[in-house]
Structures are given as structure tokens and as C-alpha cells.
């Protein structure tokens, strides 16, 4: 009834590599995760500022808290949408990610230069500039070369 060949075929469980094809390249996956992390950082910032608004209003903060909360919430939403679209390899997700990352980094620098008054803000300019440039190079360098639907 059972020969050796059929017993051998049924005794192990194999998944063929084509059963779950990866439609996106590894580099696009990395960028999608990076954009997702940036989105979660923005939403964490918005939630933290909102929940500690009464405490923070006691200090002489140069940036208006409603502006900071709203901008972080909006950028979190834009970057999350871009991340999910990149994950699904949507063509519009590429352009949303490119624009969203560039615009959110630009606004971060605008806020830093206009509202930044602390010593730490001044000391960390070089490092922050390096990180922003690396995020832009990684995002733009990978997504401009990637093929989308």
C-alpha cells in the first residue's frame, strides 16, 4: 500500500520558495521599515507632547505646543501611509515616501532653526544634520532606483 517513495514524500513538510514570493526587493523593505519607524517616532512625539501639555506649558518653550502636536500627528500619518504603500509596492507610495520624508525632514530643520534655543539644540546640529542627510540619501537613493507597479 505505501511504498518507500510515498512515505518519504509525506514524512517531511516542505514549502517551496515560490509559495510566498517577495514582491519587493530587500532594499525597498528596509526603506519601508525605516519610514514606518519615522512615522511611529512622529506619533510618539505627538502623543507625548499632548499628554504632557499641561506640564510643558509651565516652561518657556519656544515652539507652540499645538503646532508641534499637529505637525507630528500629520507627519506620522503621512509617513505611515507611505510605509504601508511601499510595503505593498504601490507606485504612489514611492512618491509619497520621497515627498513625505523630504518634507518632514525639512520641517524638522525649519522648527530647529526657528524655534531651537537650547544649548543642546545648538550642540547637536552637526549630528542631526548628518542623520537627516543619511535618511534622505538612503530613501532617495533606493526608491529612485526601485521598480514599482
Q: What is the pLDDT of residue 122?
A: 78
Q: Say what the pTM is.
A: 0.79
What percent of the chain shows pLDDT beyond 90?
61
pLDDT band at 141 (very low <50, low <70, confident <90, very high): very high
Q: What is the average pLDDT score of the chain?
A: 86
pLDDT tens digits along 35-67 = 999 999 999 999 999 999 989 888 888 888 999
How does DSSP assign the chain, residue by residue? Answer: ---HHHHHHHSS----TTSS---S-HHHHHHHHHHHHHHHHHHHHHHHHHHTHHHHTTS--SS-HHHHHHHHHHHHHHHHHHHHHHHTT-HHHHHHHHHHHHHHHHHHHHHHHHH--SHHHHHTHHHHHHHHHHHHHHHHHHHTT----
Amino acid at each position: 500500500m505505501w511504498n518507500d517513495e510515498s512515505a518519504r514524500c509525506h514524512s517531511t513538510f516542505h514549502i517551496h520558495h515560490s509559495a510566498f514570493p517577495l514582491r519587493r526587493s530587500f532594499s525597498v523593505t528596509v526603506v519601508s521599515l525605516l519610514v514606518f519607524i519615522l512615522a511611529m517616532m512622529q506619533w510618539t512625539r505627538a502623543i507625548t507632547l499632548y499628554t504632557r501639555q499641561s506640564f510643558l506649558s509651565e516652561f518657556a518653550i519656544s515652539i507652540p505646543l499645538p503646532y508641534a502636536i499637529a505637525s507630528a500627528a500629520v507627519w506620522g500619518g503621512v509617513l505611515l501611509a507611505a510605509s504601508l504603500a511601499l510595503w505593498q509596492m504601490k507606485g504612489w507610495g514611492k512618491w509619497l515616501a520621497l515627498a513625505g520624508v523630504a518634507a518632514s525632514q525639512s520641517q524638522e530643520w525649519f522648527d530647529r532653526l526657528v524655534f531651537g534655543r537650547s544649548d543642546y539644540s545648538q550642540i547637536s546640529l552637526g549630528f542631526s544634520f548628518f542623520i537627516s542627510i543619511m535618511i534622505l540619501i538612503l530613501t532617495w537613493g533606493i526608491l529612485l532606483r526601485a521598480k514599482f507597479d
